[in-house]
Structure 1
Amino acid sequence: MGISSPGIGSGIDVNTIVSKLMSVESQPLNDFDKKSASYLAQVSAFGNLSSALGGFQSSLSSLSSLSGFQTMSATPGDNSIFTTSASGTAQPGSYRVNITQIAQAQTLASGGYKSTTAAIGLGGKTTINFALGTVSGGSFGLSGAKLDKALSSGGLTTGALTINNTAIATDGTTRSARLLADAINAKSATTGVSAKASATVTDATLFASYGDIDTSAGGTYALSVGGVNIAVQASGVAPGEAGAVSAASIDAALTGNTAITRALADANITVSGTAAGGDLAFTNADGSNITIAEGVSGTVSGGIGNAAGAANIGSATTEVGAISLISASGSPITVGGTNPAGAGLSAGVGGAYLGAGFAADSSRTSGNIVIDSSNNTLQGIMAAINKGNFGVTARIVSDGSTGTNATPNRLVLTSTATGESSTMKITLSGSGGSAPDEELSKLLAYDPAGAQNMSQKAAASNTKGTVDGIDFTSSSLGISGSVPGVTISALKVGSSTLTVSKDTAALTASVTGFVKAYNDLTKQITDLSGYNADTKTGGALLGDSTVRNLQASIRRQLSSSITGLQGTSLTNLSQIGVSFQKDGTLTLDTSKLGKAIESNYNDIAGLFAAVGRGTDADVKFASSTSKTQAGDYRVDITQLATQGTLKGTVALPAETVIAEDTTWTVTLNDTKPATLANTATITLPAGSYNPSQLQTMLQSSINGVSAFSSAGATVSATIGDDGMLQLSSTRYGAKSNLHIASATGTAVSDVFGAGASVDGVDVAGTIGGYTATGDGQNLTGGPGAPVEGLKLTITGDAIGSRGTIGFSQGYAYQLNNLAAGYLGSTGAITSRTTGLNNTVKDITKQRDAFAARLTDIEARYRKQYTALDTSIASMNTTASFLTQQFAAMAKA
């Protein structure tokens, strides 16, 4: 194959000629590139505009709703004691807050067990019911035994008693229950335990026999109690004679308002029983000792412990009372020392409710678990309780003890909520008439008013304290209502000031941020679409209609007045110091803003946010959409929302008996088609219930179903003036329903009679005369109307006209909606960007097609000039030959 090089034969520079021709032919490619660059510059510019508009929209988000104007500040003097948050309804002022107690949940612990997997009990079916409620009356602590009479003479030795590892100051002078209680109370600040001297009662058998007194042989007799003579017999008096002392005469002296009873009362001594009945006893309420003495001279017979005629040589006995310990926090008490028995106490850790009552709380959940041979272990019981999800959690804790006889494992139960109403009551019942398993009862039975087989490690308690000397209590760490509009979150016991004031700095910062965001957006628009006279260049979006429309819409909205505001004099930005400058930017007069905050503080929100205000307090603005138009709209209600109910038809008796193994099937707030999770079977604890107890038990049992509580479905139980029980779903509307069917045991009709379930209905009515849709208590304006998307919450009990609702769209709300129309997947900027990118793609296709044609053109040029090159080369060859021939001919 030969090597060809264009132009060698002809001398023509074919490559240069073709290159220059193609340079001319390819000039349109530059035009394509310029067009692409121009459109891509616009795409980039719209990206910058989108970013700037997005930033502007972000600055509006906190100003578009009333929640963005919670501009009250609540500042604690010491935020280690409590923290605070304030709403816009808070009132300026200074308060003194004293927290005296912090809320906590109750914790109970069982006795120790060797294994967590060993069976407990015989495995018979036992139902365990958990109820939560409040302890009333009584106290939590320890009851001591009656003190030894020797205490009255020898006292209690030093170091004999410690409480919670603190030594109690006792010595030889500690000779009564009262003095011992005083010594314990002197250390209460350290121990958290106080003492009460229980009533000092004489031995009930002391007067078991009392013989008639006989002084006829010349003796005398006197009976005194606590230094008060209650019976005196002179010398020479035989039984039955005037002035003779007998059991009957003693009882007569101690009955009614006599000199003797008044003297005993002055000595703080009360009387119970009778001498004739053999149970006469004396009590000193403050725990002081009582000495009962018989003074005898000469020959005397009868008296205390002596039959008639039996010689009496005199007697004296001192009765010493007992103490009880009270834990201020409801925590266990640790008793120790060298001789705690001398104080009537046993060494160790203990505590229980004494003389208390228990009332279940209907607002708290309750629930049941069934324990049998399949789960009668610590682990099985723990799992069953936790699965129940009815307000109590269980765990197993080991104390770490080891050894052959060690029992380190304890079941620990804790209420999931704090507050006094989270105290547990745990009852057990058997099945089929059988008693509950004895070992399970030993493990779990707990009643603050009865047997307490579990020990309380922490008491359920409320947060307590005062605000400016006014008491408050809260079941949680949060305290609301004591200072209107302010929520206090307690951290620890202590006292501090609380200052509530207008957060003018935050409101000023919000308005300043709005002005800055607008000016930043304006600058970006100017840079992208304006003309620079100095450089004689225009922005990438100069003359773009999208940008012009955006800028004009923003300025038009900011220049217009707000409509729909009721009861306010603020309708435009200039009234709070915001105004336009000549260059189109905004400026803020902070002095004017400050005056507006001072005089129209509550109305500034209406200039920025979406606000709805009704003339009826029970018609409340809930929300709106971008399609809702500002204005005043009449509200008319034709139907109020109701709840699904089941009401009895007969008044409840004084006692309603729930049989063992009673189960009901409850369906709550079910859907169409039905949802399985909306139906559950509940087990009702067996027992006899008065109406109030039955109401509480049913409400708690249903609300204790975890599937219901997870879905936010609850019921409330009430007893009407007619004595009939009613259960209601707490939800309103057509999605509210409650149906109960008997399964086993006591029938539903035994409680509700022939009562039938009634499903709830939605609220119905119109807004501004336009159709509205009800959903529960919410009424929302229908599509296509000025009230579209306007949602109102309708409460109260009135049908018909419910006044008017004034709705306004503040500047921030309007501009936020405007920005949303330009941003997002369907926004104007996205549409323009998409169009520009599509144009660039079309130009790229055109350029590629033209570039392909240039290849063909170049090939054609090369082919033509190559042919010319060949022709000229051939002609040059011929010319050279002829020249040679002519030269040869000339020589010849």
Structure 2
Amino acid sequence: MAVEQQPLTKYAQKTASYQASLSAYGSLSGAVGVFQASLGGLTKATDFNTLSATPSNADVLSASATSKAVAGNYKVNVSQLAQAQTLTTPGITSSKSAIGLGGKTTISFQFGSASGGFGLAGETLKGPIASTGLSNGSLTINGTAIATDSTTTSARALAEAINAKSTTTGVTASATPASSDAALFAGFGDVETGVDGTYALKVGGVQIGAQGAGVAAGDGITAASIDEALTSPSTVLTALADAGITFTGTAAGGDLQFTRTDGANLDIDEVVTGSAAGVTGGLGSSGGEVNAGSSKTALSGISLKSTDASPITIAGSNPAGAGLAAGTGGTYLGGTFTQDANIASGIVTIDATNNSLEGIRDAVNKAGLGVTATIVSDGSSNPYHLVFTSNATGANASMKIGLSGTDTDPPDSALADLLAYDPSGAQKMTQTSAAQDTRLTVNGIAVTSKSNNVGEAIQGVTLTVTQTGASTLAISKNTSQVKSNVESFVKAYNDLNGTLKKLTGYDAENKTAGALQGDATATSIQSQVRRMLTSNISGLSGAYSNLGQVGISFSKDGTLTLDSTKFQKAIDTNFGDIGALFGAVGNTSDNLVSFTSSTSATKPGTYELSITQMASQGALTSGDPVAPSTTIAADTTWAVTLNDTTPSNSKNTATVTLPAGTYTPAELAKVVQSSINGTSAFSSAGSSVTASIDTDGKLVVSSAKYGSLSNIALSSTSGTSTDSLFGGATAVAGMDVAGTLGGHPVIGSGQTLTGLAGTDVEGLKIDVTGGAVGSRGTVSFSQGYAYQLNNLATTMLGKTGQITSRTDGINKSIKDVEKQSAAFSDKLTGIEARYRKQYSALDVMLANMQTTSSYLTQQLSALAANS
């Protein structure tokens, strides 16, 4: 059997040989994979143009730069960070109890910009202040004491004292104009002076008229003479203007009123001399009553404005003397609200099932309106507050909260008193945090941003600001990373070359051949990579077309070497061209056409682009111009179908609710756009619309998507009908861009053209975002070394690649040998059984022969004895 088993050794030797080849290909595959990994930072030409961004003060900001940035040093000063608006309801006793009667009420959330000063409007200063002033300690604002004393006798003086502390309080003050009583001159009597009497009327120290002794009534100062003195031109008018005093009305009409615009106190004095009955008439003396003289002081109040639109806290020993009430608060004073159509709006419905703070909170959060609702307890007797916080930062993300009922029914009054908030109207909620932008300067130029991630303040640079303060930002070419990537590429190739040399070569010293010596696949891989590295790159317009020009060349032993000096010179002189030498580059001659991507099948070259059809959007345009004022009724809902497919899919249709109100055409377009875009069915699918008023005054609603799958349709469900706005207009579907590239057919999808398989432009993808039909210049494409090598490595390691195919073949051979060995082993079992059977038969035969031999011996012995 030992002889019979000798062929198994040959099978084992074959298996070992195949296993050695398989192991060798595993090593080769690993080396190719490592080499491919080294190409990661070189395959895109844009990787070579990235810049580093280093701030001097990392606490203030961090930054990243792209190839569009310009190297240099930039001074950045951050004065304000973006934040979201927060609104808080007045406190109530329970978060679970029902609010109101439970009637159906729709709460709408709109987002936009609130303008107008946010602060407090004070009342007129109290009378004693004009003579005694406001004692120190009477007023504190946001925890800062305002320095006042006996000289603080007017609103102007108080405003100056407040503004002196504005840096610490964050509050500025302005004095309101001081005006005399509107009825002060009603019943002005003709002035009569006796033999020792005189009379003078002064306003703010300006003498309006004077009368000496012994003048009869009607011959001196009268209502008519006062009006004449106030008639232009006159020295009185000039003096009043110099004092900042204006007037309205007439003395004769009894409605003469003086106003001092600077907020200083306005004194109106009647100066009388003489005996007790020496003067009659004047202010309030139409019946000829005796006038002993008078002095009236008109005071004004102050208006406070928060510099960051946050609530203002008033305290002190006598804030009422300053015309202010102790406590914390603030509203928009004469504010306006302008909706931002680019921020989706939304609605929630409150009824008897959810009309508690907790119910409203849950309804708002579930609706996904871009608002987070929470409940806060402050521990007071009415502790529970509902808090709304916008999910977006920026001054354009201020909230307007409207409430409407159903049909002609008004909203629940208790809910309206709790939740209504309109910067231009009722402000039932309290703004505790204002929506604000990031504000900064870059090299002295003012910049604003909706978020703390500031893009394009510096072209190609994104800033992330984290606190206020100053920092310089150094933008520089990231040449060290490029050099490191190239060095890694050279090393990875040499490692790959070393692996191939070891596997395919012969070790003369040890007299051993490599596991893949003479292997055609391994030799082919070696030659393909080397041939690719020694070829010039076609289609490049820059300074370089081969590796040797940037200092990368082959040594005599077949390894790559990097001449650092030559490479550094290339970086210093033509840094931008190095990227094209390694990565894939696509360029277009038309700035409204952009290169997007390519595949390994795309052939380098320059291709003429011809456009036969521009992409368009699906749209619906009203039949007639929109009315100057449009009222959207309560509970208005539309069925909107957006970007539907063929056959139609119900997922592309959703119910949209519009907030009730009366709108101008521009406001109506914003309401329609934000309401549709705020519908979760569309926002989750990435679908949206734009709405605008065209030059003819018509309302146009367009899908934001381009192409044949861009379409929109509207129909009424309740409330204001779509026909009342659009007049039964027919919607127009969008179209895909169409054309040819280098004369080759392409596939259009929206604004994107993609080269067809089997053509030179296969997989070449471009976007055409504007312009007109016709010739649109050229699209150039080239493949650098790293890009080509990466594609080659991917092909080699792919399911049908050389290495995979070869290893699959070896594995198949191993299995075939194993089957042959197993079959032979099975055959050996039968041979051994036959040998054993023959041995057993021979053993029996031998035993029989031995028995016969013994018998014959015995018989012969017996015969011998008898004889």
- Normalising by the residue count of structure 1, what TM-score does the alignment of the two structures yield? 0.93
Aligned-pair RMSD on alpha carbons?
Answer: 2.1
Any conservation in 2 of the 1:367–1:704 contact (CA below 8 Å)?
A: yes
Single out whichever of 823-832 and 776-785 deviates more from structure 2. Answer: 823-832
Equivalent of residue 254 in structure 1, options 208, 213, 230: 230
Aligned to 1:814, the other structure's residue is in SS state helix
CA distance in 2, matches of 1:416, 1:534: 74
Identity of aligned residues (%): 54
* Number of equivalences: 863
CA distance in 1, matches of 2:342, 2:830: 89
CA distance in 2, matches of 1:394, 1:275: 58
CA 1:252–1:450: 2 relative to 1, 3 Å: farther
CA 1:544–1:247: 2 relative to 1, 3 Å: farther
CA distance in 2, matches of 1:605, 1:251: 85
Give the partner amino acid of 2:505: G
CA distance in 2, matches of 1:354, 1:76: 41
CA 1:681–1:116: 2 relative to 1, 3 Å: same
CA distance in 2, matches of 1:36, 1:400: 83
CA 1:720–1:512: 2 relative to 1, 3 Å: same
CA distance in 2, matches of 1:860, 1:167: 118
Q: What is aligned with 1:220?
A: 198
Q: What is aligned with 1:50?
A: 29
Question: Is it true that 1:327 corresponds to 2:312 in the alignment?
Answer: no
Q: Per-residue deviation at 1:392?
A: 2.3
Q: What is aligned with 2:265?
A: 289
Q: Per-residue deviation at 1:870?
A: 4.7
Any conservation in 1 of the 2:797–2:803 contact (CA below 8 Å)?
A: yes
Q: Per-residue deviation at 1:875?
A: 4.6
Cα deviation, 1:667-700, whole Å, max 9, x if unaligned, reads 1111122222221222223333222111211111
Question: Is it true that 1:606 corresponds to 2:584 in the alignment?
Answer: no
Any conservation in 1 of the 2:191–2:218 contact (CA below 8 Å)?
A: no
Q: Per-residue deviation at 1:267?
A: 2.1
Q: Per-residue deviation at 1:758?
A: 0.1
Equivalent of residue 90 in structure 1, options 66, 69, 77: 69
Any conservation in 2 of the 1:71–1:506 contact (CA below 8 Å)?
A: no
Q: What is aligned with 2:608?
A: 634
Q: What is aligned with 2:128?
A: 150
Give the partner amino acid of 1:108: L
CA distance in 2, matches of 1:470, 1:156: 43
Aligned to 1:355, the other structure's residue is in SS state strand
Equivalent of residue 563 in structure 1, options 527, 538, 541: 538
Single out whichever of 867-876 and 87-96 deviates more from structure 2. Answer: 867-876
CA 1:384–1:264: 2 relative to 1, 3 Å: same
Question: Is it true that 1:191 corresponds to 2:169 in the alignment?
Answer: yes
Equivalent of residue 486 in structure 1, options 461, 480, 493: 461
Q: Per-residue deviation at 1:749?
A: 2.8
Give the partner amino acid of 2:25: F
Equivalent of residue 509 in structure 2, options 521, 531, 534: 534
Aligned to 1:396, the other structure's residue is in SS state strand
Equivalent of residue 232 in structure 1, options 205, 210, 219: 210
Q: Per-residue deviation at 1:881?
A: 6.1
Cα deviation, 1:526-558, whole Å, max 9, x if unaligned, reads 233322222221222222222222221111211
Single out whichever of 480-489 and 315-324 deviates more from structure 2. Answer: 315-324
CA distance in 1, matches of 2:675, 2:860: 132
Any conservation in 1 of the 2:407–2:719 contact (CA below 8 Å)?
A: no
Equivalent of residue 648 in structure 1, options 609, 622, 626: 622
Question: Is it true that 1:407 corresponds to 2:382 in the alignment?
Answer: yes
Q: Per-residue deviation at 1:629?
A: 0.8
CA distance in 2, matches of 1:760, 1:461: 38
Equivalent of residue 623 in structure 1, options 593, 597, 610: 597
Cα deviation, 1:388-442, whole Å, max 9, x if unaligned, reads 33332322222244xxxx3222111111211111011112222221222211111
Question: Is it true that 1:130 corresponds to 2:106 in the alignment?
Answer: no
Single out whichever of 360-369 and 486-495 deviates more from structure 2. Answer: 360-369
CA distance in 1, matches of 2:284, 2:496: 106
Any conservation in 1 of the 2:442–2:457 contact (CA below 8 Å)?
A: yes
Gaps of 5+ in 1: 1-21
Q: What is aligned with 1:6?
A: none
Equivalent of residue 390 in structure 1, options 355, 369, 380: 369
Cα deviation, 1:441-489, whole Å, max 9, x if unaligned, reads 1111111111100000110101111111111111111222221111111
Q: What is aligned with 1:430?
A: 405
Equivalent of residue 520 in structure 1, options 492, 495, 516: 495
Q: How does 1:304-453 map to 2 (within 5 A)?
A: 304-401=283-380, 406-453=381-428
Question: Is it true that 1:760 corresponds to 2:734 in the alignment?
Answer: yes
Single out whichever of 631-640 and 287-296 deviates more from structure 2. Answer: 287-296
Question: Is it true that 1:178 corresponds to 2:172 in the alignment?
Answer: no
Give the partner amino acid of 2:257: A
Q: What is aligned with 1:503?
A: 478
Q: Per-residue deviation at 1:885?
A: 6.6
CA distance in 1, matches of 2:370, 2:285: 63
Single out whichever of 106-115 and 747-756 deviates more from structure 2. Answer: 747-756
Aligned to 1:145, the other structure's residue is in SS state strand
CA distance in 1, matches of 2:336, 2:330: 16
Aligned to 2:787, the other structure's residue is in SS state helix
Cα deviation, 1:296-338, whole Å, max 9, x if unaligned, reads 0021112223334111111123333212221111111111122
Give the partner amino acid of 1:541: L
Give the partner amino acid of 1:190: T
Give the partner amino acid of 2:328: V
Any conservation in 2 of the 1:127–1:369 contact (CA below 8 Å)?
A: yes
Give the partner amino acid of 2:244: N
Equivalent of residue 684 in structure 2, options 696, 700, 710: 710
CA distance in 1, matches of 2:324, 2:92: 26
Single out whichever of 215-224 and 621-630 deviates more from structure 2. Answer: 215-224
Q: Per-residue deviation at 1:886?
A: 6.3
CA distance in 1, matches of 2:254, 2:373: 53
Q: Per-residue deviation at 1:884?
A: 6.6
Q: Per-residue deviation at 1:150?
A: 0.9
Q: Per-residue deviation at 1:882?
A: 5.7
Any conservation in 2 of the 1:70–1:86 contact (CA below 8 Å)?
A: no
CA 1:452–1:204: 2 relative to 1, 3 Å: same
CA distance in 1, matches of 2:57, 2:178: 48
Aligned to 1:702, the other structure's residue is in SS state helix
Any conservation in 1 of the 2:192–2:218 contact (CA below 8 Å)?
A: no
CA distance in 1, matches of 2:480, 2:647: 54
Aligned to 2:706, the other structure's residue is in SS state coil
CA 1:439–1:844: 2 relative to 1, 3 Å: same
Cα deviation, 1:110-155, whole Å, max 9, x if unaligned, reads 111222232211222222222111122x211111111112112222
Gaps of 5+ in 2: none
CA distance in 2, matches of 1:62, 1:707: 40
Any conservation in 2 of the 1:205–1:278 contact (CA below 8 Å)?
A: yes
Any conservation in 2 of the 1:217–1:300 contact (CA below 8 Å)?
A: no
CA distance in 1, matches of 2:382, 2:522: 80
Aligned to 2:38, the other structure's residue is in SS state helix
CA distance in 1, matches of 2:753, 2:136: 77
Single out whichever of 807-816 and 757-766 deviates more from structure 2. Answer: 807-816
Q: Per-residue deviation at 1:840?
A: 1.4
CA distance in 1, matches of 2:19, 2:251: 115
